[in-house]
Structure 1
Amino acid sequence: MPALIRIVATLFLGILIAVFPSGCMLAPPAADRAEVLAVVGGTLIDGAVAYPRPDTTIIMREGRVSWVGPDSAATIPPRAQVVSAHGRFVIPGMFDAHVHLASVQTPTGVVRQEIQKLLDAFLLSGVTSVLDCWATEEIFDLRRLIEEGSVEGPRLFVTGPGLTAPGAHGSGFGYATLEPTSPEEARGMVRALVLHRPDLIKIAIPSLSREIVRAITDEAHQARLRVGAHVLPGPQAAQAIEDGVDVLLHGFSGRFVPDPEAFRRWRIRGGLIVPTLVVEEPFTRLKDEPEFLTEPALVQVTDPRVLGRFRRRGPRISSDIFAKAAHDYQRVADNVIALHRRGVPIAGGSDAGNLAVFHGPALHREAELLVRAGLTPRQALRAVTRTAARVVGRQHEIGVLAVGWRADLVVLREDPTQDIRALSSVEAVVKDGQLVDLERLRRRVREPLVRRLTQPVFADFSQGEPTAHTGSRFVGIRETGAAPHSTVRIAVESSRLLLTGAVAEERGTFGGAEVHLAPFGLSAIDLDPTPAVRFRARGDGGIFRLELVTLDTERGVFGRAFKPGRDWKTFEIKLDRLRPIGVAGGVPRNLARSLSLRWVTAGGRRGPFRLELDDIQLVRRRR
């Protein structure tokens, strides 16, 4: 049975400090933390009380709300940090219950981005909690670093790797997934995944058999975990809730006629839907409202190079695609409002990372589309706060500003109960009882986010884990797109990284491993002082390729082939000898914006492969 790679239990902050020079950490200075924070004078709007409460003070300490009440009755400690919200509106921090941090899709393909910029975009937009739905094992480590305060970002909830059928939705994302072929195998995969404390188990319904889905939901429920499903047609959604799925992670088209008793049980166990209407409309919006790409709420939080791709290429998308997208969107919206009328809770989620679904502002748009579909502004506000927290079972501590709840809030310039578009009028954000420095984050989003490594030895696997000295994890990768797909397995044996698997076809498919240069891809790395990558390797006699992934807008990936034999050999590949993969001409123009290294099969090979790696070094230029 394919095994989920074991997650490292601890990754000390000292690793980051040893690898990066001082001043390069991605968290706010500890000296800026306030013991007590008070937001005074604002009109409080949340899901706990049916009416707005003007002239309200909220006092927070140790990450929790400690007092809420009228300004006139407030006793603010002498040394508290005070934020004036007079004439403003205060809401709970927003929660995006469906995001993807791995990449950003544009009209010209997927763009790799510094993950820190995406985390910043959420906070700048007042989104203080997110649920990442489907990622590599690295996401568990990133969640912990955010919890510890080593990395700045919204509160991160995760599913980890999703479960799907071989060759089905999700298996073409380009990295390893869990692909059970029997109910017994599915149960084992869920048990392995549970060890890493996912906040939700995610499955792709379209191709998993009903027996496997039932095995997954039963095993997850025994572990007190909810199950969310990627579904599209209505009949699939009906089968999902009949088979034990708790959360529908998309809206859907087509008829939805579940068994009445199954629907009743679904409602009792807290069933809900995350419609992701915003992911249904990008094509029509690029055609009908291209000016949205210049809105300040989007421009201030989004990397300019990403927006540039949309402005240049978005309007060229086929008119046939526009027409079909408009039809599909309306069918999905009609089903969402029908479920709402039947009493099904609606949670806000954007599916950020997809085409024209921008991290942060997309949740504001989702709320706007929910209102267009038939919710009131107050219902839409609840959807993107407390109801979204229900997806991961945190509705009793997130989404309401009451004593004992998480101290996450947003100060808005305008009233969202009058116009839901006011959600984009963010003036201040508090997360975990700490005021977020929004101007610092705006600068970080607009400017290149680049760090330097200080250790020449990048990875030697001496700890018996598939990790670099930066803490970054080697993860299995393969081709994206439709089946058939290659297989990849990563292990560490005798302090050496072992890659094994099988390449599906001779053209367009590959298998291998990728590792971020900076932990979790939070920033780019300046490799300009590094003329070469040196490593020891032995293999099966076939051709492999070392690849460098950069932030180069048009080309991005560069590589050079090498051929390891059955005996160990040291390879030193000069970066100025790399060539673009998939496009013509040129060498890496800017090594100062490098993201990751890959070792992949090459040379048109097919079938089994084996590669061992050791002693990976970034050779530095002598001064």
Structure 2
Amino acid sequence: MRQFIFAAAIAVLAAAPVRSASVITADRYLDVATGNYVEHPAIFVGDDGRITGIADARTVKWGSTVKHIDLSGETLVPGLIDMHVHLTSLAEIGGYRGLQYTDSFWTAIGVANAKKTLDAGFTTVRNVGSANFEDVALRQAIDGKWIEGPRIIAAAYAIGATGGHCDDNSLPPSLDRKQMSVVNGAEDARAKVRWLHKYGAKVIKICATGGVFSLGDSVGGQQLSLEEMKAIADEAHMLHLKVAAHAHGDEGIHDAILAGIDTIEHASLASDATIKLAVQHRTWFDMDIYNDDYILATGTANGTEQQSIDKEKMIGLKQRQTFQRAVRAGVPMLFGTDAGVYPHGQNARQFAKMVEWGMTPLQAIRAATSSAAEALAQTGDAGTIAVGRFGDMVAVKGDPLQDVRLLEHVDAVVKGGAQIERAAPSTAAIPAR
């Protein structure tokens, strides 16, 4: 009898959470941990924006003081996480055209891009590189409720070598200046990590190899030494910060893994041996395999230099093939789009590409939810619809496990238990490759 009373009391508490500010109801939600749907949920969210309880909407009651967000006919998925964005960049302005705009223009653009990203269902992003601590400023403005946008894990400046991908190679020697992001040697690299942390960086980004949009370098050539990368990783980890490495070339990816870097961005030319090393070290790959379509379709029309287009032609298909091999080998994978290289707000277009190149829809969704939260060390905050997590979720009609492209057009976005008032979605077509 005592056991029955105790069980009944627990059921009542679970069905009627206290101190709830809002309740979200829908036809079902996706439990990303199991891959199963939970039918008829009533998800209660407290004043702090965290889920206080989940009950059966058919039997639970809530008072008139609880705001009801009725999403009947919808399937809920945890708020999406993009692990690689540049909110203060525009795909529509490339190459030297960017020099036509004043420095603060990019911060202003970041405000608009943050809203587009949130409206698209991405309630958390990792911003891996921006000048002048612009992403830190955006985070402060969003957290202070001055503007709307996703939760931002900001890297601020990305650390790189002189003349490398994180340096500015677009100007002549007469206009040369040492970029804030540049380091030379391990001790210089340690000091840069401390400086970035001092002014608000919550993740460290490095450029281990060359890149597509940097001028004059080899896209795969290694640019930071193993010693420099290990110094950065050790210093960041001591400060409880994760490290992301931009790395296209195999040697740079290999050394970044050995250095203890947490996530490899792009990972385009990783060999089978390096993929095996990533599995052994449980190093995350964060591969932007959609944007090749946009880059090659737009070409130089937005100002992008021809040498960058040539680099993309060289690695685009190889990157997708590497993605396929990495998935098959069991590398832990993340969802990262490099939005800013293609238009913000279209982040979810990558889901279908990930499925096309070897993932199941559930694996692709986990890459943007529970796996992303794990890589961010935020499993207690984001990535799942569960008690204690942020009340972040998106709603779609239909079954995203059958058609992952449903996530390209979400019907509603909830952040911290509040439904976002969204702008009308853009009808602009994306060029087909």
TM-score range (shorter-chain normalised) is 0.7 to 0.9
Distance 1:323 1:420, change over 3 A: farther
For residue 125 of structure 1, what is the aligned residue in structure 2? 120
Cα 1:251–1:360 change in 2 (3 A) is farther
Match of 2:348 in 1: 364
Q: Deviations over 1:184-233 (max 9, x none)?
A: 12112212222234221111102112211111111112222211100002
CA distance in 1, matches of 2:93, 2:140: 33
Contact kept, 8 Å, 1:55 with 1:86, in 2: the verdict is: no
The 5 Å alignment of 1:391-402 reads: 391-402=375-386
In the alignment, is the contact (CA less than 8 A) between 1:38 and 1:81 conserved in 2? yes
1:137 aligns with 2:133: yes
Match of 1:272 in 2: 284
Contact 2:124 2:150 in 1 (8 A): yes
Shift of 1:148: 2.0
- Contact 2:20/2:52 (<8 A) preserved: no
Is residue 259 of structure 2 the alignment partner of residue 239 of structure 1?
Answer: no
Corresponding residue for residue 81 of structure 2: 95
State the Cα deviation string for residues 433-463 of structure 1 (Å, max 9, x = none): 111111xx349x99xxxxxxxxxxxxxxxxx
Alignment of 1:66-105 (within 5 A): 66-105=52-91
RMSD of aligned Cα (Å): 3.0
Candidates 182, 203, 207, aligned match of 1:204: 207
- In the other structure, the counterpart of 1:230 is 246
Runs of 4+ in 1 over 6 A off after TM superposition: 320-324
Aligned residues of 1:169 and 1:204 also touching (Cα < 8 A): yes
Partner residue, 2:161: 165
Instruction: Report the Cα distance in structure 2 between the residues aligned to 1:286 and 1:418, rounded to whole angstroms.
Output: 31
* 1:146 pairs with 2:142: yes
Seen in structure 2, the aligned counterparts of structure 1 residues 397 and 321 have a Cα distance that, compared at 3 Å, is closer
- Structure-2 separation of matches of 1:321 and 1:179: 21
User: Which structure has greater strand proportion?
Assistant: 1
With over 3 angstroms needed to count, the CA separation of the structure-2 counterparts of 1:196 and 1:241, relative to structure 1, is same
User: In the alignment, residue 140 of structure 1 is paired with which amino acid?
Assistant: V
Rounded to whole Å, the distance in 2 between the matches of 1:259 and 1:74 is 49
Q: What CA deviation, in whole Å up to 9, does each residue of 1:370-425 have, x standing for no partner?
A: 10111011111111122222332213320100011011011112321111100023
Contact 2:20 2:44 (8 Å CA) reproduced: no
Give the Cα–Cα distance (whole angstroms) in 2 for the partners of residues 84 and 437 of structure 1: 14
Q: Rg: which structure is higher?
A: 1
Q: Quick one: distance in 1 between partners of 2:194 and 2:21?
A: 41
- Report the TM-score when normalising by structure 2: 0.79
The C-alpha deviation readout for 1:291-332, integer Å capped at 9, x for no partner, is xxxxxxxxxxxxxxxxxxx9xx47x998x9989756632211
Does the 8 Å CA contact 1:158/1:200 hold for their aligned counterparts? yes
Other-structure match for 2:4: none
Distance change >3 Å, CA 442–CA 41, structure 1 → 2: closer
Structure 2 counterpart SS, 1:387 = helix
The answer to which structure, 1 or 2, has the higher relative contact order (CA under 8 A, 6+ apart) is 2
**Could you tell me which of 324, 327, 331 is aligned with 2:318?**
331
Query: Match for residue 290 of structure 1?
Result: none
1:570-609 deviations in Å (ceiling 9; x for gaps): xxxxxxxxxxxxxxxxxxxxxxxxxxxxxxxxxxxxxxxx
SS of aligned partner of 1:38: strand
Match in the other structure for 2:40: 55
Quickly say closer, same or farther: Cα 1:202–1:69, change in 2 above 3 A: same
Is the contact made by 1:97 and 1:391 (CA closer than 8 Å) also made in structure 2?
no
Q: Deviations over 1:514-572 (max 9, x none)?
A: xxxxxxxxxxxxxxxxxxxxxxxxxxxxxxxxxxxxxxxxxxxxxxxxxxxxxxxxxxx
Distance 1:323 1:98 in 2: 23
Paired residues, number: 378
Unaligned runs of 5+ in 2: 1-18, 171-177, 210-222, 428-433
Among all aligned residue pairs of Structure 1 and Structure 2, give the percentage whose two residues are the same amino acid.
26
Q: Specify the alignment match of 2:30 in structure 1.
A: 45
